[in-house]
Amino acid sequence: MTLLRLFFSFLQIGALSFGGGYAAMPLIQDQIVTVHGWISMDTFADLVAIAEMTPGPIAVNAATFVGTRIAGPAGAIIATLGCILPSCIFVTLLACLYTRYRSLRLLQQTLLALRPAIVAIIAKAGVSILIAAFFLDGTLRLSGDNLSVRRIGFFIFALFLLRKTKCSPILAMVLCGVLEMAFSAFAALPA
């Protein structure tokens, strides 16, 4: 039953996530955190980081991660198949249709009209990830015990590295991880 739920959840994500990996993040979050409760919001933020660092599409990496966590290797295979199956079907159908009707003005206007919607979906995903990273309980509740100053500091540090020094994104993530380990080890020292 769990494998079937994994398959259909990621089939839904694969079928409805137009615009790439970042556009899929709100759908993935809704399915695996809100609807099924397979992982927490904090773990979802970790999933996003892992999916970013791992080669391949973000949605497929997320499916593999969640599938492995929920049902082991079989879950990883089933969730990944559910995620990629709609794309395989849609791309084949769209390639046939586009080849046949590419000169139609209505088709060109429709594709142009979809661009702002995709930008909005990607922006929502980015805001959701920032909220999950900056606020300890994953909600936009401004209070001293909910806001993570350290995480905001790491974000600013990484943004500085990426923009001013043209540092590799992987190196920026590794440096922030090392800093987090150093801060955690320092905090664990007896007073």
Q: Would you state the pLDDT for residue 47?
A: 84
- What pairs with residue 65 in β-bridges? none
Residues 6+ apart with CB under 8 A from 113: none
Residue 77 has pLDDT above 90, yes or no: yes
The residue that leads in pLDDT, 81 or 108, is: 81
Residue 175 has pLDDT above 80, yes or no: yes
- Across 123-140, b (16+ Cβ under 10 Å) vs e yields eebeebbebbbbbbebee
65 token code pair: 């991660």
Residue 167 has pLDDT above 90, yes or no: no
pLDDT level of residue 8 (50, 70, 90 thresholds): very high
Q: Would you state the pLDDT for residue 143?
A: 67
Q: What is the mean pLDDT of residues 68-90?
A: 92
Please give the model's pTM, rounded to 2 decimal places. Answer: 0.55
Residue 55 has pLDDT above 90, yes or no: no
Q: What is the mean pLDDT of residues 71-80?
A: 93
Q: What is the mean pLDDT of residues 23-46?
A: 86
Amino acid 64 reads: T
The residue that leads in pLDDT, 21 or 11, is: 11
Contacts for 86-93 with beta carbons within 8 Å, 24 or more apart? 86/11, 86/14, 86/15, 87/14, 90/15
Q: What is the mean pLDDT of residues 48-76?
A: 87
Average pLDDT value over all residues in the chain: 85
- For 96-147, the pLDDT digits (tens) are 988 888 888 888 888 888 889 888 988 888 888 888 888 877 677 766 677 8
Question: Over pLDDT 70: what percentage of the chain?
Answer: 95
Question: Which 8-state DSSP code applies to residue 54?
Answer: S
Angle at 47 between CA 5 and CA 152, to 5 degrees: 140
Three-state secondary-structure class, residue 165: coil
Q: What is the DSSP string of 131-164?
A: HHHHBTTSS----TTTB-HHHHHHHHHHHHHHHH
Q: Would you state the pLDDT for residue 81?
A: 95
Taking the C-alpha atoms of residue 68 and residue 63, their distance in angstroms, rounded to an integer, is 8
Taking the C-alpha atoms of residue 166 and residue 72, their distance in angstroms, rounded to an integer, is 38
- Please choose, from the candidates 128, 169, 144, the residue with its C-alpha nearest in 3D space to the C-alpha of residue 44: 128
C-beta neighbour count of 20 within 10 angstroms? 15
56 token code pair: 């391949």
